[in-house]
Structure 1
Amino acid sequence: MKTRYEQIVDVRHIASEKRDHIPSILSLVGQEQILPASTDKKRTLLLAIDIQNDFMESIGSLPVAGSRADVHRLTQWMYNNMASLTQVMCSLDCHSLLQIFHADWWVDKKGNQPKPFTVIRYQDLVDGTWTVFNADTLERSLAYLKNLETEGKKELCIWPYHCLEGSYGGQLESQFANMLYFHSALRQSKPLLVYKGQDPYTEMYGIIKAEYDNNKFVNHAVLEAIRAYDAIYIAGQASSHCVLASAMQILEYFAKDKAITSRITLLIDCMSPIAGFEESTRQAFESLHEKYGIQIKKSTDIIL
């Protein structure tokens, strides 16, 4: 391409408070001769999980160590494969202040809110260690914690306030956004934005479904979109939580169709785990590789 990577992404400003500069980037598209994505014979999808400011080190409320370098490598991979990357789908964590995994939901016997990373279990409500601030939410909160235990899901963790709807923290990281919209304009391929985590009564790590919810919601639109691609590449934050949960949910849905699961590749150098989950994440990914035949590769080893 005539447009240089550095004209799209300013590496110095990855995970910084510098705004994106999409209008100036779009002015560069006219000098390129790449065909639109609709002409691709092999259709490829990048599934970018939660590449948002609040997960970026140095600026986020829930920063993931390594996220800055992950964005650098991912945007470089997108640039190198611009002519072959058909579509980008981005998941976006999106929360309100009053959600079951935020401190405002809970108080202890003295009226104090829990500190970030406090784990609250069903028995904690039964014995009064914690209770809900709003009595109207008690019954559903009890049921949720009980169902987490019964179904062997993650324990409820109180997360720092993050990705609040409409906030800076909930926006796409600026330099990733630059590359995303350069790709969109050049390939004439609208990004697919998938919002998740808006139900106040549940956690939603994965892009497909919540940890538990009474309605058993499954995002079939995303699953059917994935089915339509010949190759699917997954990257984003954090590998230990939202990336892993998304991959597992997708693979479990397509478990009987190895023709689809074998199309999926984790760009392992374009994601990082939350501290303390490094080894468990590595083991989980290896298990997915053995069970479903997914690929685990570095972005530098893949040319589309």
Structure 2
Amino acid sequence: MKTAYEQIINIDHIASFESRERMTDILALAQAENTKPAQRDKKRTLLLAIDVQHDFMEGIGSLAVPGSKGDVQRLTQWIYRNMESLTQVICSLDCHSMMQIFHPAWWLDQEGKYPQPFTIITYADVANGIWRAANGETERSLEYLHNLASGDKKQLCIWPYHCLEGTFGAKLESEFTKMLYFHAAARQTTPVLVYKGQNPYTEMYGIIKAEYDREQYVNHTVLDAMVEYDAIYIAGEASSHCVLASAEQILEHFADQREITSRITLLEDCMSPISGFEDSTQQQFKALQEIYGIQIKKSTDVIL
């Protein structure tokens, strides 16, 4: 590589308001590399980057994940080291409106007050009148809560407003974005951006499907794309929620195809859990490793 990592990434600006993307300069540097086009790769490799967005970055995000700044530094360093072998990047982005079932504006208590962030709302709470939907959608909300409970899904947690469409918080982290597009220009490819979480009636932690929705949406575009790669690497935020849910959904879909699940590697030092979920997340990833044969490695141990 003629371009140094430091010419692309300013590590002091990761997870900060100071970053300036300078995309024209970044693309010019990348195009001067004369790197082999991605379409000529004999071994096709994919990075699935989950929700590497400002609102999940420590220090600046409304739903900040401790450790996320270091995760971005290590992930961009891994992309840089493997520039000539990494074929494609798919990025998921949480994308929400203010009025969604997991945001405070959806709910009112008996005094007409909104719930505080991290409040847990159950079917019984709503059935007993402790909470009601501010927009009159109480019956639809009860349906959702019932299906969460009967489907053994996560309880409904009221999250701080995050990744609101069109805001700074919803954008990909700026330094990561530089490396993403440097790779795209150098390898003559186009990154794939997948938006999730826009259905107001449900939570969508994973990239493939919601916790519950009437339409039973499944993102076959991503699933079909994954079949085309010989090796798949997963990183992002938060490991305890959106990364874990994405991995579970992908592995469940390919449960009978060990030749696909064995291609998947979690870059464990390029993801961090929400505080309080450290041990449970590690245990769940180990269980997935035992069941599906995935690999869990540090980015520094993976050379493509």
* TMscore range, shorter length: over 0.9
TM-fit CA distance, 1:19: 2.7
TM-fit CA distance, 1:237: 0.1
> What residue number does 2:42 align with?
41
> What residue number does 1:190 align with?
190
CA offsets per residue over residues 36-95 of structure 1, 9 Å max, x none? Answer: 000000000000000000000000000000000000000000000000000000000000
CA offsets per residue over residues 121-168 of structure 1, 9 Å max, x none? Answer: 000011111111121x11110100001000000000000000000110
- Whole-Å Cα distance in 2 between the matches of residues 89 and 74 of structure 1? 14
User: What is the TM-score of this pair, normalised by structure 1?
Assistant: 0.99
> What residue number does 1:29 align with?
30
- Whole-Å Cα distance in 2 between the matches of residues 50 and 28 of structure 1? 26
Deviates more, 1:167-176 or 1:21-30: 21-30
CA offsets per residue over residues 3-33 of structure 1, 9 Å max, x none? Answer: 0000000000000112322111111123313
- Whole-Å Cα distance in 1 between the matches of residues 164 and 135 of structure 2? 20
TM-fit CA distance, 1:191: 0.3
User: What is the TM-score of this pair, normalised by structure 2?
Assistant: 0.99
TM-fit CA distance, 1:189: 1.0
> What residue number does 2:65 align with?
64
- Percent identical among aligned pairs is 66
- Whole-Å Cα distance in 2 between the matches of residues 199 and 293 of structure 1? 33
Q: Which runs of 5+ in 2 are unaligned?
A: none
Deviates more, 1:270-279 or 1:22-31: 22-31
1:287-302 equivalences in 2 (<5 Å):
287-302=287-302
Paired letter, 1:73: R
1:132-171 equivalences in 2 (<5 Å):
132-135=133-136, 137-171=137-171
CA offsets per residue over residues 230-262 of structure 1, 9 Å max, x none? Answer: 000000000000000000000000000000000
Deviates more, 1:10-19 or 1:243-252: 10-19
Deviates more, 1:189-198 or 1:11-20: 11-20
Partner of 1:200: helix, strand, or coil? coil
Partner of 1:236: helix, strand, or coil? strand
Paired letter, 2:76: T
Q: Which runs of 5+ in 1 are unaligned?
A: none
- Whole-Å Cα distance in 2 between the matches of residues 216 and 75 of structure 1? 35
Deviates more, 1:13-22 or 1:83-92: 13-22
CA offsets per residue over residues 79-122 of structure 1, 9 Å max, x none? Answer: 00000000000000000010000000000000010000000000
- Whole-Å Cα distance in 2 between the matches of residues 271 and 246 of structure 1? 13
> What residue number does 2:241 align with?
241
- Whole-Å Cα distance in 2 between the matches of residues 14 and 219 of structure 1? 30
1:109-124 equivalences in 2 (<5 Å):
109-124=110-125
> What residue number does 2:228 align with?
228
